[in-house]
Amino acid sequence: MLFNSLSFLVFFGLVFSLYLLIRPWPARKALLLVASYVFYAAWNPPYVLILAFSTALDWWLARRIWKEDRPAYRRALLVVSLVANLSLLGFFKYGAFALTNAQWLLSLLGVQYMPPHWDIVLPVGISFYTFASLSYTIDVYRREIDADTTLPDYALFVAFFPHLVAGPIVRARALLPQIAKPVPITGEQVGWGLTLTMLGLACKSALADGVLAPVADELFRSPATQSGVDAIAGVFAFAGQIYFDFGGYSLCAVGLALCFGFAFPDNFRFPYAARGFSDFWRRWHMSLSTWLRDYLYIPLGGNRRGEWVSCRNLALTMLLGGLWHGASWTFVAWGALHACFLIIERLARKCWAVSLNSRVGECVLTAVTFICVCLAWIPFRAPDAGAALSVLKATSNPWHGASPAAMMALAVMGLSIAWQWRMRDSSLEAAASRLPVPLRALAAVVCMMAIFLASGGDDRAFIYFQF
């Protein structure tokens, strides 16, 4: 059930209407929990059992950890949670990857091994709800939150449909207090929530799918036939496609949750206006980057044990972050590239105290960051290393003109970067608050028209649904 589908529109309309009609808070929460499980069952009904098992196990383990005082037993219970969750994630997401690589390694040793055919469907959203659930048991183990929540409340935290399948990765400490007591709903909240949802759908349908995806798809389908300018446009187009696709989904998630009175954290903050790679990761997929920071980078030692260890921790964090995105060496390569970017930036800042406070310096740093991020998107999008190299090679093809679609993609990306540069230290809420009501209404109408004009084509799933 895609957010950009008629079936979801009917689903949301029905659930939201019932939510407004029901007054008791426990009944409202029960409605949202049932609706969330129905939403998830629409993808693959049997996989609801995996979601329910993971939820019940982590809730029970967290309560045991919370009540236990013996350090060894508390640690053992946490290990059970980690092993159970990561084993499920590993089996479904990385089983085929592990078998393929085992076959390759054995062939190097002269052993002929034919692995069984792997046709297990990946449960949608398993990476997101696994990380959300793990954050709960880890925080309870660290005694940063209490585990006194009820099972229905915890189940709603994990399964709440706006963030279930593609984030943001909402922490228990942020959402459980909102679930515990009634949250007020105002007309202003609902209006802003629907506005964010429409804006997210317009970004997804009109920009990501309508303008940018065809140009990127054409490049990665046949890079050898592209002119140099078409290839560069295709690389930039995919950078825009994944931003407007995932950023659009995140806006929908934040907006839909706000309609029910729940506040989600922002997941993007104008990342293509970043001044450096550490700044980029403070702006791109912020719920994942902060999760990796708090539960992987800092426990590994962070930057507390010297430069070498800090660089090692950065590399491990980004490599595992790349692998989190998918069971492929191309995702590992994407993580490795970002690890290199971050390490080089870190060492450069240590060695050279270069001031970039001038407008020219900021522009140069932003341009370098954006170009390197776009180059890293090539292995992320390519099916294998050979295809990634072919795309990179295509950017040096003769520049014998560009297609109208490529020029349109370049224009959209130019305007997008200019907008993000203008907004990098602000927010959508602040920008909207400065607009008079008629202009806000006009913006909403434009979004609705863009969604309508982009409808009727291929229904593309959100890119991050596959992760």
Catalytic, out of 163, 285, 325, 338 = 325
Give the span between the Cα atoms of 41 and 54, in whole angstroms: 15
Centre a 10 Å sphere on the Cβ of residue 96 and count the other Cβ atoms it contains. 17
Gap between the Cα atoms of 267 and 328, Å rounded: 24
Say how many residues make up the chain: 467
Place of tokens 């990796």: 292
List of residues 6+ apart from 5 with CB closer than 8 A: 459
Q: Is 325 noted as a catalytic residue in this protein?
A: yes
Q: What is the amino acid identity at position 432?
A: A
In the three-class reduction of DSSP (H, G, I as helix; E, B as strand; rest coil), residue 283 is classed as coil
Alpha-carbon gap, residue 235 to 172, rounded angstroms:
37
List helix spans (H) across 274-358: 277-281, 286-292, 307-325, 329-351
**What are the residue numbers of the active site?**
325
